[in-house]
Amino acid sequence: MRRQIFEAFVTPEIETPTLFGCLSLFPYFVVIYAVNHLGFVYNHFGIGMTGLLCLFCLIVLFCGGFLINFMAVSNVFISRMHEKVVCPCVCVSSICWLFLFSSIFALSTSDESPIHQYWQLSQSPMRGLGICDTNEWKDSTRGLYFRNGAISRNGMLFDTFQVNVHKCTRLNTKGPWNSCSFRVRPIVPRADCTDVTDCTWEICAWDIARADEPDSWINPNGTAATLGVPRCDEPDPDPGGLCGWVTTLGRMVGGYNGADDGLNELHQGLLLAAKNFQTKSPTLFGHLDFPADLPLLHLGDPVQAAKDLSGWQPFYFGLVFFYVPATVLAMCIFCCRDGGCERFVSAYLHLCEEVAESDDD
């Protein structure tokens, strides 16, 4: 019986690699799902388990993907090509597979990648938050809608302070560092302040954005934009509230690889910013001790930010499709064109007849 099953499904024809390719799609998508949830594994099981899972997924995606793709090329295309074009075809295909693999792995494994940011901001946001209740929202990756918060005093926008991070990005481990600059403002609970004794506010968070991006709170003519109205795509936003999302260096700078050195530079820059605000506005900030771990907020409309990032989703799933499923689909098409489907069905029916006859005996 084992020999009959082997002869029915393992043949030298194209249907055998096609069947193997189809069966490989299930573990392929399981691995894709796993690498997109490494952050969850890290938060619940630690760095050891995350490293092992990441290594396993890396090996399966790279080795398994190349094996399936090469099997498809060898069974579908090479047998139909002239010998002189076989090697160039394999070389070009390998470069494409390497690009697809590296792109998928880079976008999947980092929670700060554009596709993950899109998924995070597309989730149901947190609403009705207090800007100073940081424990409720500082670890969130979703859109945040606050019932209060201001970056101004009596309609006067706080000035920005520029923070420079010299160890921000570089092309390789031996290349020179590229610096990044950010502008920061303090975020306070409210904007109204009619009495000097009523102006001892708490600094709840930093409003931070890249310095090379337009300041959404400044009009093109250099004047301050209208304050006090939240720029949020909400039906009934809280009057005077802010909206945005928690950000990091990795979320603001694509390809950030400064690691701890860059974070330390940012931390030192924020301390300088705190001293600058204390010096310029001693009445407001002079008495305050700025906590070292103030959350970083990017103020803006989470809905619009998700729309701006939405193009990454079809791009990502296109990469996932063309890496393995596209080659499997090509094998299926060529298998049916060469009569492989009929041979496979015939072998399966013949096997069923023999099994039925053996049961009758």
Specify the DSSP class assigned to residue 218: B
Give the model's pLDDT for residue 249.
85
Task: State both tokens at 97.
Answer: 């597979």
Give the model's pLDDT for residue 263.
84
299: β partners: 244
What is the distance between the alpha carbons of residues 319 and 326, in angstroms, rounded to a whole number? 10
Give the model's pLDDT for residue 319.
92
Give the model's pLDDT for residue 340.
55
Give the model's pLDDT for residue 6.
41
Element (H, E) at 8: helix 2-9
Separation of CA 293 from chain center:
24
Domain boundaries, the chain: 2-109+324-360, 127-309
What is the distance between the alpha carbons of residues 241 and 26, in angstroms, rounded to a whole number? 46
Give the model's pLDDT for residue 43.
77
Q: Residues 7, 12, 15, CA angle at the centre, nearest 5°?
A: 85
Collapse the DSSP code of 310 into the 3-class scheme (helix H, G, I; strand E, B; otherwise coil) and give the result: coil
Pairing of strands 152-153, 144-146: unpaired
Q: Which amino acid, one-letter code, is at 260?
A: D
What is the distance between the alpha carbons of residues 72 and 336, in angstroms, rounded to a whole number? 14
DSSP 244-289: EEE--HHHHSTT---HHHHHHHHHHHHHHHHHHHHHH-HHHHTT--
Task: State both tokens at 232.
Answer: 């949020």
DSSP 31-97: HHHHHTTHHHHHHHHHHHHHHHHHHHHHHIIIIIHHHHHHHHIIIIIGGGS-HHHHHHHHHHHHHHH
Ranges of residues in the chain with a pLDDT under 50 are 1-12, 227-230, 235-239
Q: Residues 117, 40, 53, CA angle at the centre, nearest 5°?
A: 110
pLDDT tens for residues 48-94? 888 888 888 888 888 888 888 887 777 666 655 555 666 777 777 78
Give the model's pLDDT for residue 68.
82
Q: Phi and psi for 55 in degrees, rounded to 5? A: -65, -45
